[in-house]
Structure 1
Amino acid sequence: MKISIENVSKFYKKNSPALRDISLEINQGMFGLLGPNGAGKTTLMRIIATIIQPTEGVVKIGNYRTDNLKEKWHILASLGYLPQELSLYGNLTPYEFLDFMGAIKGFRKRPNQIKELLEMVGLSNAAHQLIKTFSGGMKRRLGIAQALINNPSLLIVDEPTVGLDPEERTRFRNMLVDMASDRTVILSSHIVEDIAQTCYHVAILHQGKLLYKGTVSGLVQQANNKVWEYTSSNTHTPLHSSILVAKTRISDSNIKYRVLAEEQPMEGAYLVSPTIEDGYLWIIKKN
């Protein structure tokens, strides 16, 4: 399913835009939306999900516009949404919760679908356990199951791995990649690794502005010949304000620095290959 975002802006307060003239095209597969907290990612996700309307611009999901009330119902029928904060009913079991959500969405063939979904997200053995006893990771997986109850062709997930341990985060990312084989999945995150491990195309938002749209490999190349490493025994090495420290690592009495700079930051510094995190930091730094 193709998503077209054309010149979208959103103002919550006058002269304080949450989004500024955003234009994007998103096609089938995994698409990453990356940016720091407060960048406007959730606002854009809520606009795509038809929860709020843009102040300016147009969003089309397939052939339907989100600002057309009649066409909106066609979008909702093919949409699954996992918000950052999902309210679950702790006194229900996963089976009861999915049955309830399926009824709300008007999905009639629920019993078989619920069993398949619980199997898909690895909750079959907990199908009749109260949700209030679940870990954070189990609740996020149940959230994905409710988003898939109507077998959507578009799945939107907002910051899905926040608060998960490394094992649960890896499991969740793998699950999203599997789901993207036959649908469009938009993953919004401020965690660079989530995007690096799952997405081929990515967009970067910062302070409501679109700073980058393209491939993940293209994002990495943004920092080509800009990443330097060097080792210093001085814990207070003076650095110019134009230099961004990406990472430091302490070893014995020395500190190894990884920095982003247009030119060699100091004698002995040498160029290294960039990562997606370097590309992301460089784009944010430039703006």
Structure 2
Amino acid sequence: MNAPEQIQQLHNQVAAAATFFGETFPEIHPNYYPGAAAAPAAPPPPVDQNTAGLFSAVQLSRDVPANVQADLETASRCMLNLTSLGTTYCQSRAAKANNPDLLFDTSVWKQVLVNYPLLGPFSFQNTGYKKTIRGVELSSEFLQSILGFATKGPLLGAFQSFIGSFGQKISAGVDSSSKPFHFASNTVFIDAQQVGNTLMVMPHLKMYFCDFTSKDRKVYSSCASATLIDVDLQYIEVDAIWNFELYKSDATVRAAFDKLVGASAVNKIEEATTFFSDTVS
């Protein structure tokens, strides 16, 4: 494929995404851009931290040249905006159907991911495990595994503070009723990898959709009693790479993409209390 054909393909991807998301965000529909008056936009919905799940942005590269750091920050912003677009779309679908479980429905999210412009092939992997834990351990142990990195040193305090309130929400959800508790996470990893003499920015999207049930067990001893939770966890892991280099390759593609993810009706996941961001390397 030559360069003009590739650029046209990128434009087609963004236009197709605008058509898909346009029902929820009229101002980004292709009929309204470029140059046409934007459709009236609804105010962005609040980020429901009780149902929207966990959002995180993690930079894996430290001490890079200033120009590469600028690209890392731009890529992070693009990915967070794209995630906000997808999350708001799913929230809208769930609200219209009066079915909050749609926010965690992988069939809905597959449609969203297929329509994310510049997103490479993605995989869905089913995994599960059973474990007995103390209730207070659920938030730190489970969320650390979901974020995909071990919290050490200075990062540990910030992370533990971050998950404190969210762990309470999870603990409230996994009670003795044994009803399934739904949970989702969107994590953006931003890395710079050496390719020849060039540092290339590699934004990486990892998502988890979890369903787990639990049963409480009271354990007594001569000293004290403790409540243990038997957790049966099933989760789907989604893995994908976003092509930042293609985003950089053409100014008109960047403008169309930025208009797509900048819809005024899109919520901002950074405003959620369940958002966490840091550099780990």
Which structure has greater helix proportion?
2
> TM-score, structure 2 length as denominator?
0.26
Question: Which has the higher relative contact order, 1 or 2, with Cα contacts under 8 A spaced 6 or more apart?
Answer: 2
Larger Rg: 1
